[in-house]
Amino acid sequence: MVKEIQEVLPFMSYGGDYNPEQWSEDVWLEDARQMKNAGVNLVSVGIFSWAVLERQEDEFDFGWLDKVMDILHQHGVGVCLATATASTPAWFTKKYPDSVAVDKKGVPYSFGSRQHYSPSSPSYRKGISKLVRKLAERYQNHPALKMWHVNNEYGCHLSECYSEHSLRAFHDWLKEKYTNIEGLNEGWGTNFWSQRYNNWEEIDFPANQVTFYNPGQMLDYKRFMNDKIFELYKIEKAILRAITPDIPIFTNFMYQFKPLNYFEWAKEMDLVTWDSYPDPREGIPVSHAFHHDLMRSLKKGQPFFLMEQVSSHVNWRDINLTKKSGVMRLWSYSTIARGGDGIMFFQWRQGRAGAEKFHGAMIPHSNREDSRVYKEVSQLGNELKKLDSLVGTKIDAKVAIVFDWENWWAVELEGKPHNDLDYLSRVETYYKALYALNIAVDFVQPKDDLSSYEIVIAPMLYIIDEAEVANFETFVKDGGTLVVSFFSGIADKNDRIHLGGYPALLRNLLGLYVDEFVPYEHGKEQLFRSNIDTYSCSMWTDMIRLKGAEAIASYDSDWIKDTPAVTEHTYGDGKAYYVGTEPESRWVKEFVSQLAANKAVVPPLTVPVNVEVTKRSGNSGEHLIFINHNENDSEIKLGEGNSYTNLVTNEVISQNFSLKGNDVAVLLLSTN
Amino acid sequence: MVKEIQEVLPFMSYGGDYNPEQWSEDVWLEDARQMKNAGVNLVSVGIFSWAVLERQEDEFDFGWLDKVMDILHQHGVGVCLATATASTPAWFTKKYPDSVAVDKKGVPYSFGSRQHYSPSSPSYRKGISKLVRKLAERYQNHPALKMWHVNNEYGCHLSECYSEHSLRAFHDWLKEKYTNIEGLNEGWGTNFWSQRYNNWEEIDFPANQVTFYNPGQMLDYKRFMNDKIFELYKIEKAILRAITPDIPIFTNFMYQFKPLNYFEWAKEMDLVTWDSYPDPREGIPVSHAFHHDLMRSLKKGQPFFLMEQVSSHVNWRDINLTKKSGVMRLWSYSTIARGGDGIMFFQWRQGRAGAEKFHGAMIPHSNREDSRVYKEVSQLGNELKKLDSLVGTKIDAKVAIVFDWENWWAVELEGKPHNDLDYLSRVETYYKALYALNIAVDFVQPKDDLSSYEIVIAPMLYIIDEAEVANFETFVKDGGTLVVSFFSGIADKNDRIHLGGYPALLRNLLGLYVDEFVPYEHGKEQLFRSNIDTYSCSMWTDMIRLKGAEAIASYDSDWIKDTPAVTEHTYGDGKAYYVGTEPESRWVKEFVSQLAANKAVVPPLTVPVNVEVTKRSGNSGEHLIFINHNENDSEIKLGEGNSYTNLVTNEVISQNFSLKGNDVAVLLLSTN
Amino acid sequence: MVKEIQEVLPFMSYGGDYNPEQWSEDVWLEDARQMKNAGVNLVSVGIFSWAVLERQEDEFDFGWLDKVMDILHQHGVGVCLATATASTPAWFTKKYPDSVAVDKKGVPYSFGSRQHYSPSSPSYRKGISKLVRKLAERYQNHPALKMWHVNNEYGCHLSECYSEHSLRAFHDWLKEKYTNIEGLNEGWGTNFWSQRYNNWEEIDFPANQVTFYNPGQMLDYKRFMNDKIFELYKIEKAILRAITPDIPIFTNFMYQFKPLNYFEWAKEMDLVTWDSYPDPREGIPVSHAFHHDLMRSLKKGQPFFLMEQVSSHVNWRDINLTKKSGVMRLWSYSTIARGGDGIMFFQWRQGRAGAEKFHGAMIPHSNREDSRVYKEVSQLGNELKKLDSLVGTKIDAKVAIVFDWENWWAVELEGKPHNDLDYLSRVETYYKALYALNIAVDFVQPKDDLSSYEIVIAPMLYIIDEAEVANFETFVKDGGTLVVSFFSGIADKNDRIHLGGYPALLRNLLGLYVDEFVPYEHGKEQLFRSNIDTYSCSMWTDMIRLKGAEAIASYDSDWIKDTPAVTEHTYGDGKAYYVGTEPESRWVKEFVSQLAANKAVVPPLTVPVNVEVTKRSGNSGEHLIFINHNENDSEIKLGEGNSYTNLVTNEVISQNFSLKGNDVAVLLLSTN
C-alpha cells in the first residue's frame, strides 16, 4: 500500500526541478554539493528526458540517469522521478504522425516546442506505457526514489485537440454518456437551429463554426478533453502503482487552470502539488493564497506541495519583473501558512539554451554562490529545517466557498446576458474579504458534505441540479448560513434553463424569484443601500421579487430603484442570503464579517492590516504562522496566558512581539 | 397575382418568430392562448425546422406543423410560413459535403451552429428546391398561411465562401460580365503588379494573398457573392410563386448589412421586412430611424415590417443591456412613425437550450404573465389594435439622401487616402441633421428619378458613371438643390480613377476641381469659417480650385488656409453644393436647415428637442405621430384651426397638448 | 569591369519608377516631354512587367519595351532597367504551383496581389533565370541602359515561406551549417524539452507550434530565409554580370527592414539604394536620417541613392497624411546631406487602377502641370542640376554605432526578461543624441575595423563572440572610447548563454559583472544620479558589481538604490563605459556630448536647434549642407575667414547668413 507523504518525507521538503541532461557530467557533482549546501532535500528529475532515455524506438539509455540517481542519493537528496512523458521526441512524432495534436483549423502542430501530443492518440498512449514501465522497473528499488512525478503540467499549452482520433474518441465519449442519439439531441437541445443529429458520426467538433456554438456541445467537449487528458495520467499511474505499490504518485497542477477539473483529478493523486508564479506587479499575492487554500481543499485538508516557484523572475510574461530581496522567502511562507509541506522551484540550475534560459533558477547563470539569488535560496533552505514540526499539521476552517470547475466552464461560454462575468473574479470577491479578515476558508464542491461548516458561500453557481440544491437545503435547515450570488441556479448540467422563474430550484430556499436580469456595462455603477450605508455595485443587477425573504439592501438609483439588492431568508434553523449584484468590496467585507460574527467564526488572532496569520495544528502541537506584508514592523498582540517559541528565530515569546517588515514568524504553542 | 399586404393583413401586424419544435405539444395550446391575450395576430413559423421537417433525405414529417398551423388558425393567429432553409441539417452536410461553405484558408466550416451552407453549392440548391416545393404544396391552401418567410437573414454570418464550387461559379460570373479575358484585364487594371490573366481558370479568390488586393477583383467578388446569395432567394421565390401565386413573399433584412445590395433585393420582395436591435447604450436610436427610412425607401415608400426586435435584451453582444420599462414601446413607435405596418419580435417564447437561450422573448423563461416583459408586450399588442387606420398610409419626403451599396463596398476597400472613411457614418452626418429637424427623408440610388425631391444629398459618392452624373445634372438644371460631399466622383464602376482631375465627371456640375486630397489623422481638427461663424472639421480636406463655383466657407488654419471648404454653384435653375471636408454637426444642421428653408421644405410640426414627429397620410386620413424621447413632459403646439383624435388614448385634441416623458401619440386629423 | 556610378551617372540623378505598360502608347511621348521639363534624367522601367514581357511560357514580347527605351533615350532620360522578376505572372503560378509560397498554416498564397513566389522554389529560380537572360541579351547595348534594377524590395511582404521545397532547403542549409546532427543538437540545445533530433528529416519549421519556440531554431530560420532570398539576387546578378560586365547592378532596400541582413547584401551591390517613406506625423524624420547614415555605411561611405520616395502621400498607411508644401524638397535634401547622389520617386505617373492608385506620384491623376505636386517636383528637379559637384563626395565620421542584424533578430525573439526591448529604438537612443548634436556617425558591424573612429557605441549587443570582443578590446586598448549598453554580451551566435556571469566575455573590458537583471514594466521609472544631476531611467536596470570599473552614476530609488547605473573603466589607453539602463534622452545627450568633447569630436558647425548641418568633401571641394526644419528663419554663423557659394541660390556668402524657415543651403567652400 502507498505510503503517507509524511512517512516518505518526514520534514519540510525543499528543492526543485533538476535537468542534468542539459549539463555535462562534471557539473552533476557540483550540483549535488551546492544542493546540500542550500538545504535541498528533494528534486524532480527527468521531466523532459524522453528523447535521451529512449533515443530511438526501443533503444533505451538509462546509464546517465543511474549515475544522477546515485550521486543525489549519496548527497542525501531524494528524487521525485518524472515519467518523462511530458513531451514526445522528434523521432516519435515522425514515426507516429497520429500522435501529434491538431489545431482548430485541422492543421497538425509542428515539432519543436513541447507538449504537442494528442491526448486521444493510441500511439502516444502506447509509447508512454512502454516508457513508464521501463522506468518503474529500473528504479523501483533505488533508494533515492521518493515519489513519482507523472508527466508535467498536463494541458498547460494544449488542452484542445481536433484530430481524427480525437473526433472518434469524442463520438465514443458521447455514446457512453448519452447511450442513444435522442439523449444527445435532448441534452444539447438540437431542435434549435436545425441541429438535430441522426447518428454519432454526424457530430463535428465545436471548432471553425460559422457563428455561436451549441453550448451543450461546447460544455461536453470541455468535459471530454478533461477526461481524455485525465486518462493519460491514470494510464501511467496504473503502471507505476502495480510495480511500486508503496511509492506516492502525483502530477503538478497549475494556477487558475480552467481546462482540468482538479477536484476530480485529486482523487487519483497521493499528493496535491502545484506551480505558483505570482506576478510581482500584484503586490500581495492574494489570488495565490486563494490557490493554496484551493489546493489544500482538493484532498480535504491534506498538506500539499508547492512544486514550482521561481527564485527571481520568469521569462514567459511580456515583461518579467524581478522579486525584490526577501520577497521569495515571504511568498514561500504563504505556502506554508496555508498548509504546504514542500517548497520547490523551477528549476535548480538556470538553463544555458532553449526557450526558458531566462527563467530564474536556484543557481543563476553565473554559478556564483555569492549571487543574491543563491544566497536567498540557501538561507531559506536552511531555515526550513527548523520547521519540521509543521509537517502533517492541518488547518481547521469553518467557512467554505463553493468552487466548481463545471460552473467555471459553463459560466464563461459565449452568449450570456453579460459576457465578462469571469468566474474566478466572482469567487475572489468573497475570498478576498475572508483573506483580509484572516478567517480560514476551505473550498468545496456543491455535492460535498457541508456539515462541518458554519458558513458556505456559493458565488455564481450557474449550473446546478436537484441533488445539489437538496444538499444546500439540508445545510441551511440544520442551522447553516448560506450565501448565494447572482446568476445562480439558472441551468442544468447540459446548460439548459431550469424553467419557471430564476433561480428555479433555489427559489424555495432563498424565498424569492428573479423577474429578469439587468446587466450593466463596464464603468457604469448602480447604488444600493443597507441599513448601515450606501454602496456602489456594478456589472449585474437582478429584478428581485420577494416570496418570503426580506430585503436587507435595496437599489438606490436607476429604474430598478427600491427593488431588493440583497435578501435574507430564514429557512429551518439557518439563513439563506441572496446577493443579486456585484457589490463593492467594502460592503462584502462588512457583510461577511457580520455573518462570521453571528456564527462566532473568528481568525486565529486579530492582527494589523496586511499581516497574514493562520493556525496549523496536529500531533506536533499548535502553530501560529505570521507573514508581514508591510514594509514596516507590525506589533502582534498574542494575548495573555500562553507562551510560544518562534521556530524561525528560536526565541521564546509570550504576550506581544514586534514582527519586522517583510518578515515571518512561526510560533509553536508551548504545552507546559 | 400576388395580393397587397394590406389586403392580406388589413391591420397593424403584431407577433414574432415562433419555434414550436423546441417545445412539447402541450405548450402549443398555452402559446396560442397567450398570443391571443397579448394581441398577437401573426407569427413566423419554422425558420430553423429543416431537420425536423426532413429527418433524413426524402423522409418528410409535416404532422407536427399541421397541428401547429391548425392551432394558430383556431386562435386567430396568421402565419408567415418559413421555408426552413436557413440552416441545413447534419445529415445533409455529411451526405453532401460540397454543401458546406469554406473559409479564407480553404477549411470547410463545421456543422453545429447555423448557416454553414455555401451559396454556390449545387446540392444545397437542389435540397432547398425539394423542401420548399414540399412545403408549398402542403400548405398552399391552409387558411393560416398569410405570407412566405424565405430563409432567414441571408448572409448574416456567412457572406463569403471560398469553396471549389464558389471558385468555378466566380469564373462563370466573370465570364458572363466581361465576355472575354481582355475585358477583365482592362476592368481590373491587371497590367499593374504583373497581374494579367490569360484565361479564367487562372483567377484565384481575393483571399490569403500576400499583400494588398486588386480592388477591381475585390469589388467584383463582393458583387458575385451578393448575386449568388440573391439567386438562392430567387430559386425559392420562383417555386413558391408558381404554387401559391397570390401569397406575398419576403425575406428579412438586417441592420447596417453591407454584403447584400438591398435595393436590388427589394425588387423581388413583396414586402420589405427587417430586424432591428438598437443597443440601449445608444440612447435615442437615430441610426435605427435611419434604417426605418431606408427600408421604407427600398420599395419607394411602401410600408415595411419590423420583422424582429427584442422585448428586453439580446444575448449576442459582449454585454447585453436591458431596455428599461417603456423603452420597447417607445422604439416600436419609431417603426410606425417612419412607415412600418408590422411590429414583430424574436421570439415568442424564450428558448430553453441552445445558443440564444438568453435572448429575450415575448414570454420569458418564467412563463409568468405578471412578468414585466409579458405585461409590456401585451399592453403594446392591445394598443396597436387602435391604429389600424395607419395601415397603408405613406410618408411624403421632399429630401432624398443618395445611398448606394456599391459605393459602400468600394469606399471601404483598402488602400484609400484615408482608410477609416466609414460610408455609413458619412451618410449619417447628413441624416442626423435632418432627423433632428424632423424633416422627412427618403433614400435613393444614384440613377433614381429625382424629380419629386427639392433637395438631394450625395455623401461620398466615390464611384459614379456618366448616366448617374447626367441624372444629377438634370435634377439641378431643373431647379433642384444638390449637395455632394468630399471623395465623390473619383472612380468608375471598376474602381478605376476617372482621370483629368477630381471629381472628374462632376467638375462641370460643381464648378470646381480638387487639386489634391489632404486627409487628417484621428483627433486632429482643421478650422473653417463661413459668413456666420467658425467651425471645426476633421478627417479630410480637399485642396479645391474654383472654376465657376463660389466659396461659401473657407479653411482657417494650416497650410491650406483660405482655400475653399464649401462651395456653391448655380447650374441651370438649381444649385450644386460641394462640401470638401467632414464638418462638425452644428454646421451641418445649420447648412441643411438653410437649404430646406430656401426650398420651403418643413417638418410636419415644430416640436421641442428630442421629440420625433412624422406625418403618415392615405385614404384613412392624415396622422401625426409623436415620440417623446425626453424623460420629462413636452408641450406640443399644434397651431389653430385643426382638431385631432389621439388614437392611443381616444382623446380629442385641438391646439396644444402635453406629451408625457417617454410617451407617444398618434393624432388623426378630424375631417369635419 | 563594372563602371563606377559617378562614371555612369556623373550628375545628381533624378526621376522615379516608370510603368508605361499601364498606359497606352500615346501617353509615352507625353511622359517623356514632361520628364524632360521636370529635370528627370533617370527612370526605373519594368519592375512589374513579367506578365507583359513573357505572356505565356517562352512567348516573349519586347516590342513595347523597345519603344519605351527608345523614346526615353531620345529625351535624354537614362534607364535603370528592372529585371521584372518582382512578381510572377498568373500563368506561371498555375503552371508551376510549387513556385507559390506557403503560409505558417501550410496554405499556399493566392495569386492576385504581388510577391507570392517562394524563395526556395526551383521553378521560380528557373523562370527568372530565363527571363533575366532574355532581357540582358536584348538590351545589353541599348544606349538608355544605365543600371540593372534587380527584382524589387526583396522580402517586402513575404520573407517567410513554409513550403515543402523550403523545408527541404532548410534541412540542406542546416546540414551545410552543422555538418552532423549532433552539431545541431548542441547548437540548438535540444536536450531542453526533449527536442533532440536523430536526423535532419525530423526537423519541422518553427511554425504552428504549441508554445515557445526553440530560439536557436528560430534564429537559424531567420538566417536561412535571408540566405534563400539573397540567393535569388545572386542568381540574377550572375547572369547580368556575365552579359553586361560593365553595367552596375543593385536592388532597392527598405526602411527598418529586419528580415534581410543588408550589410551582407551590400557586398553584392554596385550601388546601395533604398526606399524611404517617412510618415508626416513624425515631424522631423530623424529615423530616416538614421537610415540614410546606415545606407551610406553599408558600403563604407560610398554614395547611395534614394530609390523611392513620394511626392505627396502614400496609400498603404491607415491614414495617409499629405506632405505640406515644401516638405518633399526639405526631406529630399536630407538624403543629399547624408551622402545621397540620387533622388527618385515611386512613381512617375499616378496609376489609374490597382492597389496603389492612391499612392502619390510625380504626375498626379489630373495630369495638370499647374498642380501643386508637379510644380514642386519640377522645381526640385531643375534645382538639383546645380548640385553636380556633390556627386561622389563623402562624409567623414569619427563616431560609429554598432548595428547588427543578427542581434536585431536575436534580441527580439520571445522569452526574454523584457519582451519589448525593441532593438532599433535602443540604437536610436544614441543616434538621436548624435543627430541633435550634428555629429557625423557611421554604422559598423561588430567585426569591422574600428581604428578610424574615436568613439564606438554598441547598444544592446546581446549576441557576441570571442573575435568581436577582441576587436572591441583592441579598439579601447589603442585609446578608443567604447560605450556598451545593458543586455550586451549575453549569448553566443546560437543564442546560448555565455556562462559565468553577465556580460561574460565583456566583463574584463568593462571591469564589472551583472549579478542579475531587474526589468521595469512600462510606465514605471527608476531614478539615477550622476555627479551633475538626477535623471530618470526606465525599462531595465542591472544589478552591477564593480570589478575595476568606477560608477559614474548610481540608482537613487527602489531596492537597488546606490548600486551603479553607469560605469567607466580605463582599459589600455582608452575607456570602456557601461550603461546598465535605458536613461532619459537628456542624460544621453549630455553623456555623448561629454565623450565627444573628451575626444575632440565636433560637428561641422554649431547651428541653431532643428537645423541639420553636414559636410560632404571630395575632389570637387568641401560642401556644407544646411536644412532648416524650423518654420522660422535661422541665423547661421560660419565664422571668419572663409567664403562660400550657395549652390542653390548662386549667392556668395561669407561669415553669417540667414536661412529661411523650411529652406536649405548647399555651401561650396571657395578655394581662393
**Which one of C188, C204, C521 has the shortest CB-CB distance to A110?**
C204
Identify the pLDDT of residue C655: 86
**Mean per-residue pLDDT for C655-660?**
94
Residue A633 in this model has a pLDDT that exceeds 80: yes
Identify the pLDDT of residue C639: 83
Q: Which residues from A are below 8 Å from C517, CB to CB?
A: 313, 322
* A192 to B84: CB separation less than 8 angstroms, yes or no: no
Catalytic residues of C: 153, 308
Q: How far is C540 from chain A (nearest CA, A)?
A: 10
Q: Which residues from B are below 8 Å from C281, CB to CB?
A: 521
Instruction: Give me the domains of chain A, ranges plus CATH numbers.
Output: 5-164+218-386 (3.20.20.80), 399-598 (3.40.50.880), 611-669 (2.60.40.1180)
Residue C395 in this model has a pLDDT that exceeds 90: yes
> What separation in angstroms does the CA of B368 have from each of A428, B358, B365, B544?
34, 16, 8, 65
> Grid coordinates in use for C388?
553636380
Residue C104 in this model has a pLDDT that exceeds 80: yes
Q: Give A511-522 pLDDT, tens digit per residue.
A: 999 999 999 999
Q: How confident is the model at residue C17 (pLDDT cuts 50, 70, 90)?
A: very high
**Mean per-residue pLDDT for C608-621?**
97
Q: Is B281 assigned to a binding site?
A: no
Residue C672 in this model has a pLDDT that exceeds 80: no
Q: Give A387-431 pLDDT, tens digit per residue.
A: 999 999 999 999 999 999 999 999 999 999 999 999 999 999 999
Whole-structure pTM over 0.95, yes or no? yes
| B523 interfacial to chain C (CB closer than 8 Å) | no
| Closest listed residue to residue C47, CA positions, set C377, C348, C363 | C348
Identify the pLDDT of residue B672: 63
Select the residue from B170, B174, B188, B210 to test the C interface by mutation, using most C Cβ atoms within 10 A: B210
> What separation in angstroms does the CA of A480 have from each of A430, A454, A579, B385, B627?
17, 5, 17, 54, 53
Nearest residue in A to B18, CA atom = A192
Q: Give B595-613 pLDDT, tens digit per residue.
A: 999 999 999 999 999 999 9
Catalytic site residue from B153, B383, B468, B582: B153
Q: How confident is the model at residue B379 (pLDDT cuts 50, 70, 90)?
A: very high
Q: Which residues pair with B52 in a beta bridge?
A: none
| C500 interfacial to chain A (CB closer than 8 Å) | yes
| A516 interfacial to chain B (CB closer than 8 Å) | yes
| Closest listed residue to residue C196, CA positions, set C183, C210, C185, C206 | C185
Q: Give A653-665 pLDDT, tens digit per residue.
A: 988 999 999 999 9
Q: Assess contact for B188 and B217: CB atoms under 8 A.
A: yes
Q: How far is A664 from chain C (nearest CA, A)?
A: 19
CB < 8 Å & 24+ apart, contacts of B588-594: B588/B429, B588/B430, B588/B432, B588/B433, B589/B433, B589/B436, B589/B437, B590/B532, B591/B433, B591/B566, B592/B430, B592/B433, B592/B434, B592/B437, B592/B439, B592/B457, B593/B433, B593/B437
Amino acid letter for position A382: N
Identify the pLDDT of residue A639: 83
Q: How confident is the model at residue A641 (pLDDT cuts 50, 70, 90)?
A: confident
User: What does the alpha-carbon distance between residue A396 and residue C583 come to, in Å, rounded to a whole number?
Assistant: 52
Q: Which residues from C are below 8 Å from A364, CB to CB?
A: 516
Residue C671 in this model has a pLDDT that exceeds 90: no
* B319 to A189: CB separation less than 8 angstroms, yes or no: no
Q: CB contacts < 8 Å between A and C, how many?
A: 191
Q: How far is B213 from chain A (nearest CA, A)?
A: 24
* B86 to A502: CB separation less than 8 angstroms, yes or no: no
Q: Which residues from C are below 8 Å from B191, CB to CB?
A: 19, 21-22, 51-52
Select the residue from C164, C188, C193 to test the A interface by mutation, using most A Cβ atoms within 10 A: C193
> Chains near C, with 3+ CB pairs < 8 A?
A, B
Q: CB contacts < 8 Å between B and C, how many?
A: 191
* B324 to A559: CB separation less than 8 angstroms, yes or no: yes
**Which one of A201, A415, A499 has the shortest CB-CB distance to B355?**
A415
Nearest residue in A to B19, CA atom = A192
* A216 to B353: CB separation less than 8 angstroms, yes or no: yes
Taking only residues 119 to 158 of chain B, the set having a beta carbon closer than 8 angstroms to any beta carbon of chain A reads 156-158
Nearest residue in C to A54, CA atom = C194
**CB C29: neighbour CB atoms within 10 A?**
12
**Which one of B191, B495, B502 has the shortest CB-CB distance to C52?**
B191
Q: How confident is the model at residue B10 (pLDDT cuts 50, 70, 90)?
A: very high
* C89 to B206: CB separation less than 8 angstroms, yes or no: no
Q: How confident is the model at residue A671 (pLDDT cuts 50, 70, 90)?
A: confident
Q: Is B2 exposed, middle or buried (0-12, 13-18, 19+ CB in 10 A)?
A: middle
Q: Which residues from C are below 8 Å from A51, CB to CB?
A: 190-191, 194-196
**Mean per-residue pLDDT for A498-504?**
96
Q: Is C274 assigned to a binding site?
A: no
Catalytic residues of A: 153, 308
Q: Which residues from C are below 8 Å from B521, CB to CB?
A: 281, 319, 321
* B193 to C90: CB separation less than 8 angstroms, yes or no: no
Nearest residue in B to C371, CA atom = B515
User: What does the alpha-carbon distance between residue C334 and residue C613 come to, in Å, rounded to a whole number?
Assistant: 10
Q: Assess contact for B23 and A496: CB atoms under 8 A.
A: no
Residue C250 neighbours by CB under 8 Å, 6+ apart:
C147, C148, C149, C150, C269, C270, C271, C272, C273, C305
B153 catalytic residue (yes or no): yes
**Which one of B112, B320, B322 has the shortest CB-CB distance to A195?**
B112
Distance of CA C75 to the CA centre of its chain: 33
Select the residue from C91, C111, C161, C371 to test the B interface by mutation, using most B Cβ atoms within 10 A: C111
| A208 interfacial to chain B (CB closer than 8 Å) | yes
Residue B399 in this model has a pLDDT that exceeds 90: yes
Q: How confident is the model at residue B671 (pLDDT cuts 50, 70, 90)?
A: confident
Q: Give C171-214 pLDDT, tens digit per residue.
A: 999 999 999 999 999 999 999 999 999 999 999 999 999 999 99
| A366 interfacial to chain C (CB closer than 8 Å) | yes
Q: Which residues from A are below 8 Å from C192, CB to CB?
A: 19, 22, 48, 351, 353-356
Identify the pLDDT of residue B641: 85
| B513 interfacial to chain C (CB closer than 8 Å) | yes
In this structure, what DSSP letter does residue B387 have? G
**Which one of C55, C318, C357 has the shortest CB-CB distance to B497?**
C357
Residue C314 in this model has a pLDDT that exceeds 80: yes
| A109 interfacial to chain C (CB closer than 8 Å) | yes
Q: How far is A80 from chain C (nearest CA, A)?
A: 18
Residue B487 in this model has a pLDDT that exceeds 70: yes
* C204 to A112: CB separation less than 8 angstroms, yes or no: yes
% of residues, chain C, pLDDT over 90: 98
Residue C31 in this model has a pLDDT that exceeds 90: yes
| Closest listed residue to residue A20, CA positions, set A60, A59, A71 | A71
**Mean per-residue pLDDT for A206-212?**
96
| Closest listed residue to residue C305, CA positions, set C276, C266, C273, C269 | C273
Helix axes A215-243, A122-139, angle to 10 degrees: 30
Q: Cell numbers 436610436 label which residue?
A: B285
**Which one of A56, A354, A358 has the shortest CB-CB distance to C198?**
A56
pLDDT, averaged across chain B: 97
| C522 interfacial to chain A (CB closer than 8 Å) | yes
Q: Give B570-583 pLDDT, tens digit per residue.
A: 999 999 999 999 99
pLDDT, averaged across chain A: 97
* A210 to B101: CB separation less than 8 angstroms, yes or no: yes
Chain length of chain A: 672
Q: Please state the ipTM of this predicted complex.
A: 0.96
Identify the pLDDT of residue C641: 85
Residue A672 in this model has a pLDDT that exceeds 80: no
Q: How confident is the model at residue B655 (pLDDT cuts 50, 70, 90)?
A: confident
Identify the pLDDT of residue B640: 84
Q: How far is C550 from chain A (nearest CA, A)?
A: 20
Taking only residues 536 to 565 of chain A, the set having a beta carbon closer than 8 angstroms to any beta carbon of chain C reads none
Q: How far is C195 from chain A (nearest CA, A)?
A: 6
| Closest listed residue to residue C12, CA positions, set C392, C378, C563, C359 | C392
% of residues, chain A, pLDDT over 70: 100
pLDDT, averaged across chain C: 97
> Chains near A, with 3+ CB pairs < 8 A?
B, C
